[in-house]
Amino acid sequence: MPYNLDIPGWMPEPELKILERLARTIPSGGAMLEVGPFCGRSSWCWSKSVAADVSITCIDIWDPIEHPFSPPAKSDAEAVSGEDFGKTSRERGSWGTRENFDYYTRDCDNITAVKGRSPDDFLSWPRDSLDLVFLDGVHHNPVFHADVTHWFQRVRPGGILCGDDCARTHPDVLWTIDDFCKERSIPFTVERRIWMIQRPD
């Protein structure tokens, strides 16, 4: 299984399996981008599931002061990970820091980590350049709407824009995706909490 349940995060195993399947849609030599990887639980899954020559860019603010939330990762010495939240033996090992991300993804050679705020710090990212974009950063508007609009244009025709937390607990995600697709007369799908839009050819 190309995912690591020990890495702290909020994504449960069934959703990591969906990411594993999506990763296999990226062609050899392709490129993907993830917004909001936190400690790298989903990033590790992407890295180990794509073809070896696919490049992955992970962007995040990695600022535990601005984002002071951590999953309830297990921390006792004999902890065994379940499908949720992960475990850690590091001090503050479940905090969303760049140091933690680098540590948990240290064996992922196809990942390039970039600290920045999406989409504002990436406005010059070239259009039609990515095979898949996964949004798991800010889930409220206006930021989420700006992320969807910006990164959809960076996905190649036939590529996939997708993300997490399409659920009643994050209503801006569901409303934004629904409105965005209606305006363009394109479909979207939701599996568990993972939403997916394929950019038309």
pTM above 0.85, yes or no: yes
In DSSP notation, 28-96 reads TT-EEEEE--TTSHHHHHHHHHS-TT-EEEEEE---TTTS------B-STT----SSS-B--STTTTS-
pLDDT score for 72: 87
Give domain 13-198's CATH number out of 3.30.390.50, 3.40.50.150, 3.40.190.80, 3.40.50.920. 3.40.50.150
| 17-70 residue pLDDT tens | 999 999 999 999 999 999 999 999 999 999 999 999 999 999 999 999 999 889
- d(Cα 194, Cα 166) in Å, to the nearest integer? 6
pLDDT in tens, the chain (201 residues): 688 999 999 999 999 999 999 999 999 999 999 999 999 999 999 999 999 999 999 999 999 999 988 988 888 767 777 778 898 988 898 999 999 999 999 999 999 999 999 999 999 999 999 999 999 999 999 999 999 999 999 999 999 999 999 988 899 999 999 999 999 999 999 999 999 999 998
pLDDT score for 1: 62
Closest among 19, 15, 18, 24 to 52, alpha carbons compared: 24
Parse the chain into domains and list their residue ranges. Answer: 13-198
- d(Cα 135, Cα 180) in Å, to the nearest integer? 15
- d(Cα 85, Cα 193) in Å, to the nearest integer? 16
- d(Cα 4, Cα 21) in Å, to the nearest integer? 15
